[in-house]
Chains A and B, each alone.
Chain A
């Protein structure tokens, strides 16, 4: 297995961790190691974890660190090759046939090809990071098709032949685990399960992302969010919600609201499910008072 030299200047997981921090992403040791190995071994990086733990953000930060453009392929049920790979521009082809008259014309030329994310990443492996987001939403057919792509990094277009990447592109896959992924897919990737961050790390993330937030506020939000995540909610607040909550509460506080009240009034940015709000409301005051204490 060839070890890649494309991560110039990043020669250890710690170096990658520092670089990610400079890109405003705080990775723990496990994630930094997995990402480093993925880059060094030229293997796709598969990130799994609950919604809102920062999987997509990690991909964005990796692209920023490498100084590359992020191409995002959002998966959904029913996604197929024409949405992921390429599509022909049929109206243009039709028009070209009509206009050509007796002349011969190649209707499968470059001008008629509409590039979709996977083909784009394959054709420009040195300047892009391909993010295949929420692969668990796609159906099994697409997953099987993806397997082929990830093992050979080539795409065959029947009318034009095979497109092969000169170098293995950087690929990051994410999954919320709404279904079990195929073992073969996990095998092809470097794998990391992202957990919710520790309180300490999450407070640092909040202060990094929202510079207006005071440390005490960040800690209070982290404590409150931690409590909420232990409740049986249908959508537990993720990291982005914690950041938003801290910012919103700070904003209200600066506008004159007192502390626990500023928190309480801005809870809508952390809990966005009416049923969850309803469920938590009887104990919310006590919970927030404890968090801000």
Chain B
């Protein structure tokens, strides 16, 4: 429209930066653009740092996308000199496990995880595994259908009106009593609302779980879509939060977004370190508090089981319930035989079959029935 006032020349570069951000998937509202321009005007600006601070403060990129924001900023305002910096994909949603501290005597490994643990047991279990009655598609359909009412719930702190309940609804009672000249004829009641419990899904994507990984990711996506309060992480040699990616409604889109985030598909396993890393990031560890934690992993730990045992013990103290779903438990009469599984057995509430989508779905849907807080 030609009636719009012309944008001042000086402002164009800032507005086009916002356009660049939007083109790269950042959500920027028009009011934020206005705030950005006003902020720049306010600050002077005297150098590029002022502009960067103004952009960060008003355009509010999510912390986990800060690296990508900075890159776009440099690209836009500093031009080609910024181009040389490569995208390492590192952000606060991914925790690199090989960085600091313990475990550095272990070389990083990739495809030899299958050699570890008791592979003989695993083979036997695979032979014995009975074919589940439901196909993956059927299982996922069942999950979407039943999850909303069958997932675990807990009592929340918000109150709602009720015919009967332990709390008096004074506001309503008083309103009613005004009509009857201050006589209280009927006492209103309130009760606490039930809320869906947090659900935390930790999916092993290492080489030894390769045959299950795709189905497990589909399952995670179905669960995310069906229930609120679900958090999903993958682990192998790294720990990656994929919740945000799986929030996308269309499955193909969500899975490819997740695939883009995770960089350790089909690699080695360091479950203990992965769980330690999970607990060490306060914001991640917080997801486990009071949650129903479901770990889908064969528990074939390459390293010493100490780290794994400590991590699972800590997890179980924090969580409402910890379920460990392993394909090794597919057969009847399963007894854990790997060192790692034996070490964690006493800290988990369930150590059950995770060998098919049907069995995982059945377990997840049964969680709500087991214990009511």
Flag whether A93 is at the interface (Cβ < 8 A): yes
Known: A51-B282, A233-B280. A29 touches B53 (CB 8 A): yes
A33: chain B residues at CB < 8 Å are 43, 50, 53-54, 57
Nearest-CB distance from B58 to chain A (Å)? 6
Residue in B56, B157, B285 whose CB lies within 8 Å of A77: B157
Flag whether A187 is at the interface (Cβ < 8 A): yes
Q: Is the CB of A29 within 8 A of B49?
A: yes
The distance in angstroms between the C-alpha atoms of A3 and B276, with both chains bound, is 48
A29: chain B residues at CB < 8 Å are 49, 53
Flag whether A21 is at the interface (Cβ < 8 A): no
Residue in A36, A79, A232, A236 whose CB lies within 8 Å of B101: A232
Residue of B nearest to A190 (CB): B57
- Tell me the interface secondary structure of chain A in the complex: mixed
Interface residues in A110-156 (C-beta closer than 8 Å to B): 139, 141
B277: chain A residues at CB < 8 Å are 232
Residue in B42, B43, B50, B286 whose CB lies within 8 Å of A178: B286
A55: chain B residues at CB < 8 Å are none
Sorting the interface of chain B by its residue count into under 10, 10 to 19, 20 to 34 or 35 or more gives: 35 or more
Residue of A nearest to B314 (CB): A275
Residue of A nearest to B60 (CB): A191
Flag whether A97 is at the interface (Cβ < 8 A): yes
Flag whether A41 is at the interface (Cβ < 8 A): yes
Flag whether B9 is at the interface (Cβ < 8 A): no
How many contacts A-B (CB < 8 Å)? 127
The distance in angstroms between the C-alpha atoms of A71 and B32, with both chains bound, is 27
Q: Is the CB of A94 within 8 A of B177?
A: yes
Q: Is the CB of B279 within 8 A of A94?
A: no
Nearest-CB distance from B222 to chain A (Å)? 21
The distance in angstroms between the C-alpha atoms of A103 and B70, with both chains bound, is 68
Flag whether A162 is at the interface (Cβ < 8 A): no
Residue of B nearest to A142 (CB): B158
Q: Is the CB of B56 within 8 A of A34?
A: yes
Q: Is the CB of A78 within 8 A of B158?
A: yes
Known: A29-B53, A234-B285. A90 touches B60 (CB 8 A): no
Q: Is the CB of A191 within 8 A of B174?
A: no
A96-108 Cβ-contact flags toward B at 8 Å (1 or 0): 0110100000010
Q: Find the residue from B39, B57, B170, B174 having the highest chain A CB count within 10 A.
A: B57
Residue in B35, B43, B178, B286 whose CB lies within 8 Å of A97: B178
B35: chain A residues at CB < 8 Å are 1, 37, 41, 43, 190
Residue in B101, B174, B244 whose CB lies within 8 Å of A231: B101
User: Measuring CB to CB, which residues of chain A are less than 8 angstroms from any residue of chain B?
Assistant: 1, 3, 12-13, 29-30, 33-34, 36-38, 40-41, 43, 46, 48, 50-51, 76-80, 88, 90, 93-94, 97-98, 100, 107, 139, 141, 176-178, 180, 183, 186-193, 230-236, 275, 279
Closest 8 CB pairs of A and B: A78-B157, A232-B280, A191-B60, A97-B182, A33-B53, A178-B286, A34-B57, A90-B170
User: Measuring CB to CB, which residues of chain B are less than 8 angstroms from any residue of chain A?
Assistant: 27, 29, 31-32, 34-35, 38-39, 42-43, 49-50, 53-54, 56-58, 60, 62-63, 66, 100-101, 156-158, 170-171, 173-174, 177-178, 181-182, 195, 244, 276-277, 279-280, 282-283, 285-287, 310, 314
